[in-house]
Structure 1
Amino acid sequence: MSTQSTTLNSEHPIDQKLPWSTMVPVALQHVMVMYAGAIAVPLIIGGALKLPPEQIAYLLNADLFTAGIVTLIQCLGLWKFGIRMPVIMGVTFAAVGPMVAMANAGMGLPHIFGAVIASGIFTVLIAPLFGRLMKFFPPVVTGTIIATIGITLFKVGITWAGGGAKSADFGTVHHIGMAGFVLVLILMINKFGRGFVANVSVLLGLVAGYIVAASLGLVNFAPVNKAAWFSAIVPFSFGLPQFDLGSIVSLSLVMIVVLVESTGMFLALGELCDRKVDSDSLIRGLRTDGLGTLLGGIFNTFPHTSFSQNIGLVGMTGVKSRWAVACSGVILVLFGLFPKMGAIIASIPQSVLGGAGICMFGMVAATGIKILQRVNFENRNNLLIVSVSLGLGAVPMVSPDFFHSLPSWTAPLTHSGITLAAVSAILLNAFFNRSHSAAGAEHELAHSVHAE
């Protein structure tokens, strides 16, 4: 799809500054896609701590405010931080388990935020180590990880399409019909739309779905009426952070998992945007996961990561401009400061989001399949690497309780299909494709990394 630009044609699409009339709608659709995931973690942690509604609302506002700041850093860059690609940031689900455990153990928000701050510093320090592991990501590994990301996201999209995981009427005709309506509309816009219209097909589909849902009485406007007009985000609003070693270690282990997942997401985005993610850019991106987590602890929120669902949106719309996603960061900051604005987006029924999600998440999986086309499958070892890794990556989605008898500290690894697939693909590739000789192995990896 074509994108409008006020810059020279020779400029890479990632660096193009689009007209405001194009950039703002593109940015808004990024926010609409990530919003449900962005606000879920504060709701869960606030509930686990039995906080009053006004404090939970403040956690939501702080979450959006911080996500906006970190998105700006990731897209535009700040010193040694920021991958400078269209990446939107938000709170990671991977940290929910350990943080709920802290809450159940009687620790309050100051202890949780202390662990968040310390794990953020830890992540910034170890990011360069992960950046030097690029040689372990040839196409057979990269393609498998990216395909697993898409497959894992299918569960999210389908759950949305059914009305949401906690919906009392999950899977009813009106939810499925609404998701189907949005899906068909997005496909029709992509088929017959041109230029700007095609670029914002997801936004148009979501807006149309929202209007239809509202006309059918499926939108709850009560939270919009209750939301405050303005909320200042003040550092350490719940008290100075408290540091507990066990909690810090727990969240630091989670952040290692987050770095593995983020590596796969950055590589996927590089494929969609036709820009190679090298070691230096990967380190800058991973450092920003750590910086976002550090800022999260300061501004009363939780560990941050790149949002994989928005990678699919880049592939769907063809709009690769990092400036457009930086504009999403500005919108998130405004939503954090002016909660009533965010409450309107939060009122979008999840079945409406589901219609868009199925398209976008499938795009991520398809990108992984595209990368796997470069792999020599005449070599049966590569078939084994892909098949076993995809199988392991599907375990948490197919059987969430499969690893229930393992120690609780393994949960960040065993509950993440992306991490299981990544670890499996890296280790199996090292076992099968690096066993002949050290010299031959280095040659093979170098060839794989630089292959188209």
Structure 2
Amino acid sequence: MTETTASRSTTGAVSPVDQRLPLLQLLLVGFQHVLLMYGGAVAVPLIVGQAAGLSREEIAFLINADLLVAGIATLIQSLGIGPVGIRMPVMMGASFAAVGSMVAMTGMPGVGMQGIFGATIAAGFFGMLIAPFMSRIVRFFPPLVTGTVITSIGMCLFPVAINWAGGGKGEANFGAPEFLALSSLVLIVILLINRFLKGFWVNISVLIGMGLGYAIAACVGMVDLGGMEQRPWFEVVTPMHFGPPEFHLAPVLAMCLVVVIIFVESTGMFLALGKLTDTEITPKRLRGGLLCDAGASFIAGFLNTFTHSSFAQNIGLVQMTGVRSRYVTVAAALFLIALSLLPKAAFLVASIPPAVLGGAGLAMFGMVAASGIRILQEADIGDRRNQLLVAVSIGMGMVPVVRPDFFAHLPHWLEPITHSGIAMTAIWAIALNLLFNIIGENRSHLCGSHGH
């Protein structure tokens, strides 16, 4: 089936993906996509910025840079430019998969933000090189491996949420009742919305919880907006704001591994979206989507932000609303680009108290882990060897989370891998899957051919 026939439905009418909607509906549904992914999009620069000890002004700049790249990448993914872009309703944003590795890099001597951006550029370039061959690599990433890794991503981020909930890392009054009450309130609001409301409200439950928590924190004097007057109303993101990117071997290798994980996640998401929109995901379409993921990461490093990927929660929104047009995500992309030019809006987001983020973080990171467990259900988890693979991979991933000094005596250049629970889980899951399922499978094939 050719690309043109693939984009037509069986009746010969225009595919739902190519439908043009009335302007008001287009803008409203587009803005809904922005609301849904905004919390996730700004969480990555918030986590990395705080771990790197950046000022609120610098974190606000990181958020603006992230929104700009997310907007550009979403536009290219939805509309397509030449061979790049899947031309479907896909929202892009900074990927959680890289957070563990990047937080580890902030603690490495001589790496800093410039080293993180250098690793992001190198990983994006690596992604563009391997995108055409990804269909061959996918067999090393069955649901057993990807489910284990995604579960680990959620689990490795829990300490971040718990630190936030207690008032923030380094907070002298950590665990004070007011911090615990605020984070609990945000979490309870999210849970109640998911229990008693439906549809759109459920999709923006995290945003509502954080908004209410922020309002209460502001009323009791827990929000500090000092310095906001100095922020301009309008500002264009400048490339290499933190200095020229630097390239260090271990961070680059760790981020290249992250890009492979992102590719596997995105492939699964694109296939799911194809089913929802009655669109055949041809190898050409898949390659275009993965090239956009990698290209966005490559550009991101120059524009002061991080590896980008497709956002799964927005695919859920496509399913819920039934609006399958890619022009909806084009509208959403334009909203993101507009927001990136408004530093005061980003400063407001950067001033959210850690305790508010903590309540939302527990729910958000828990959902990441839960989606990994859901993917694991597609694997033969009744097989004892597969259970052992999940157990050992996640166990090894927890080592740097529970005891960050566990590998302290190993060479420093290994730190982005040994300090990242996600990278550790991925390496062990791939290796054990090779040992248990692929090498043995090939050997039994050989035995079978000798028998004939």
Q: Contact 2:250–2:417 (CA<8 Å) still a contact in 1? A: no
* Residue type at the aligned position of 1:72: L
Determine helix, strand or coil for the equivalent of 2:94. strand
Letter aligned with residue 257 of structure 1:
L
How much does 1:340 deviate?
A: 0.9
Residue aligned with 1:381, SS = helix
Counterparts of 1:197 and 1:138, CA distance in 2 = 34
Q: Distance in 2 between matches of 1:80 and 1:150?
A: 33
Deviations along 1:262-284, whole A, 9 cap, x unmatched?
A: 14543675698676988766654
- CA distance in 2 between counterparts of 1:278 and 1:197 reads 34
In the other structure, the counterpart of 2:188 is 184
Is 1:392 matched up with 2:399? no
Q: 2:341 aligns with which of 333, 337, 342?
A: 337
Partner of 1:259: 259
Residue 388 of structure 1, CA deviation? 0.9
- Which residue identity is paired with 1:256? C
Equivalence for 1:350: 354
Deviation string, structure 1 residues 388-410 (Cα, Å, up to 9, x no partner): 11111212211222222222222
SS at match of 1:345: helix
Normalization by structure 2: what TM-score?
A: 0.76
Paired position in structure 1 for 2:38: 31
| 286-295 or 202-211: bigger deviation | 286-295
Contact 1:116 1:248 in 2 (8 A): no
Q: In 2, are the aligned partners of 1:385 and 1:429 still within 8 Å (CA)? A: yes
The amino acid across from 2:73 in the alignment is V
**Equivalent residues in 2 for 1:299-310, closer than 5 Å:** 299=303, 301-306=304-309
User: Against the structure 1 CA distance between its residues 255 and 290, is the aligned structure 2 distance closer, same or farther, given a 3 Å change threshold?
Assistant: farther
SS of the residue aligned with 1:306?
strand
1:139 pairs with one of 122, 136, 143: 143
Alpha carbons of structure 1 residues 206 and 381: separation in structure 2 relative to 1, 3 Å? same
Q: TM-score, normalised by structure 1?
A: 0.76
Q: 3-state DSSP class of the match of 1:133?
A: helix
Q: Is 1:220 the equivalent of 2:224? A: yes
Aligned equivalent of 1:70, options 64, 68, 73: 73
- Taking the TM superposition and a 5 Å limit, the aligned residue runs for 1:202-217 are 202-217=206-221
Structure 1 match to 2:130? 126
Residue-by-residue CA offset, 1:239-278 (whole Å, 9 max, x unaligned): 8x58x7xx26455323312213314543675698676988
Residues 157 and 358 in structure 1, CA contact (< 8 A), matched pair in contact too: yes
Query: Aligned to 1:197, which of 182, 201, 216?
Result: 201
Q: Distance in 2 between matches of 1:108 and 1:368?
A: 29
Query: What is the rounded CA distance, in whole Å, between the counterparts of 2:123 and 2:382 in structure 1?
Result: 43
Q: Match for residue 84 of structure 2?
A: 81
Bigger shift: residues 179-188 or 275-284: 275-284
Once the two structures are TM-superposed, the CA of residue 328 in structure 1 deviates from its matched residue by 5.4
Q: Secondary structure at the match of 2:397?
A: helix
How many correspondences in the alignment? Answer: 421
Q: 2:410 aligned to 394, 406, 412, which one?
A: 406
1:149 equivalenced with 2:153 (yes/no): yes
Identity of paired residues, percent? 37
Alignment check: 8 A CA contact 2:400 2:418 kept: yes
Task: Specify which of 288, 294, 319 is matched with residue 290 of structure 1.
Answer: 294
1:312 touches 1:361 (CA, 8 Å); kept in 2? no
> CA separation of 1:112/1:21 partners in 2, compared to 1, >3 Å: closer, same or farther?
closer
Most deviating of 23-32 and 212-221 = 23-32
Deviations 1:138-169 (A, max 9, x none): 23223212221222232232233222224333
Q: What does residue 427 of structure 2 align with?
A: 423
| CA displacement at 1:176 relative to structure 2 | 1.5
Q: Which stretch shows the higher mean deviation, 321-330 or 62-71?
A: 321-330
- C-alpha distance in structure 1 between counterparts of 2:137 and 2:113, whole Å: 37
Supply the AA of the counterpart residue of 1:81. V
CA contact (8 A) 1:396 1:414 kept: yes
Change in Cα spacing, 1:439 to 1:254, as seen in structure 2 (3 Å) is closer
In 2 relative to 1, CA 349–22 (structure 1 residues): closer, same or farther, beyond 3 Å?
farther
1-structure distance, mates of 2:53, 2:377: 45
Cα separation, partners in 2 of 1:169 and 1:283, compared to 1, 3 Å:
farther
Runs of at least 5 residues in structure 2 that lack an aligned partner in the other structure: 1-10, 447-452
- Quote the residue 1:448 is aligned against: none
Q: Deviations over 1:92-115 (max 9, x none)?
A: 54356668768x48x996x98677
Q: What CA distance in whole angstroms lies between the structure 1 residues aligned with 2:317 and 2:116?
A: 37
Q: Distance in 1 between matches of 2:374 and 2:233?
A: 46
**What CA deviation, in whole Å up to 9, does each residue of 1:214-251 have, x standing for no partner?**
11111112243231111123446688x58x7xx26455
Structure 1, gaps ≥5 residues long: 1-7, 443-452
1:14·1:86 contact (CA, 8 Å) conserved in 2?
no
Q: Structure 1 233/40 Cα, relative in aligned 2: closer, same or farther at 3 Å?
A: same
C-alpha distance in structure 2 between counterparts of 1:12 and 1:166, whole Å? 51
**Offset at residue 412 of structure 1 (A):** 2.5
